[in-house]
Structure 1
């Protein structure tokens, strides 16, 4: 086995552990949900077993990620194909979709249970719910958004958003710094 292949194989276990911990899941929970044994998962995460497709496919399904995110496929030169999920300081996982700090930025958030804590800062925010139910607090409003629903607000207004009743919620979040706002070019209505 060449050195590059050995390095890729050695990184799979720690990467799987990192993915599981970022989602705040226990080994036993993932084992039960994926149909894999606890000992297999433990040996894979600690590097004592190199997993085959019979292990990687159920884990990719359970974590809802592509296989190349687990095995760290070599970069193609296109950063859109190799997005890097990060643990968000407010809880959950955030995936930056753009790299433009001075313009409107796009993120995908997977938010787990957390306590509401209102914040305010310069900027303008748009939220689109992909899956789950989102609780949005903006000023005196307490709203619930379902998949397909959107919200937009001035981020200087005290706000907070997170999952409703503890179940994870998945959203797209656009943020324009310094009050930047999206400019709609076309308004389409279905009749």
Structure 2
């Protein structure tokens, strides 16, 4: 479907959304109802001379009548390998929150706790995750989730002899410290 073919139906939808009849909008825009009808049905080609008064009366922009380009939703960022972890970005570069699938390798001891501004949310997909949070050491298993203030000293690692896979969501500062520190 051509982009201009969508102008008429979008114009009609905007008119209906505002509860206006064809005659009401035509009168406000100072065009004939038949012209508006033909425009909405695609039997008349849209021109700025017709669209500007109509969009003003509807309280929309001419751009609102054109289809928006839908960006490619796929995330195409490289996998990060750091300190034995495998970090797969799940959100595009520049997203307001960093979302990652992180595989933590098994460790006999927890890494040194860190502190930074922000919050972290995580969900354990598989394995056992050791979460050291302040003075507490917790082991989260598949299906468990946690949320914490990252100003509390914390560290994450796999517990037991197998890796732990986790979905982690950070604010920008948390992503920078947890994911990009060694870069």
Q: TM-score, normalised by structure 1?
A: 0.48
Question: TM-score, length-normalised on structure 2?
Answer: 0.50
